[in-house]
Amino acid sequence: NAGVTQTPKFQVLKTGQSMTLQCAQDMNHEYMSWYRQDPGMGLRLIHYSVGAGITDQGEVPNGYNVSRSTTEDFPLRLLSAAPSQTSVYFCASSYSIFRPNTGELFFGEGSRLTVL
């Protein structure tokens, strides 16, 4: 199993450009989520999904869109990048909490995004 795969690992954008961060998991996880990590701010939840066709907003959703057309994929879209979106982005997945003794989030390797 590859686990959680994110691409690209690094990206530089200019203000106003759009891009998509890709996330795929091969563990049959129902739950997927995106976090951003900034110095001193910890990991902040952007969007999450409990299954295909279902998405919801996290703590800091503004400026980001997501979709979940398949169980495996959960792309994060920046429609018009801003310098405030410079960050490290992590995709994470897990089994549904309805399964017994689950809860562990499995993280991807991260994507470092710089917006100039």
Partner 1 sequence: GENVEQHPSTLSVQEGDSAVIKCTYSDSASNYFPWYKQELGKRPQLIIDIRSNVGEKKDQRIAVTLNKTAKHFSLHITETQPEDSAVYFCAARADYGGATNKLIFGTGTLLAVQP
Question: Minimum distance between the CB of residue 38 and partner 1, rounded to whole angstroms?
Answer: 10
Complex with partner 1: residue 19 or 45, whichever CB lies closer: 45
34 binds partner 1 (CB under 8 A): no
Distance of CA 113 to the CA centre of its chain: 13
Candidate ranges 7-15, 26-34, 60-68, 69-77; the one touching partner 1 (CB under 8 A) = 26-34
Among 14, 40, 62, 100, binds partner 1 (CB under 8 A): 40
74 binds partner 1 (CB under 8 A): no
Binding site for partner 1 (CB under 8 A): 30-31, 33, 35, 40-45, 48, 50-51, 56, 58-59, 90, 94-98, 102-105, 107-110
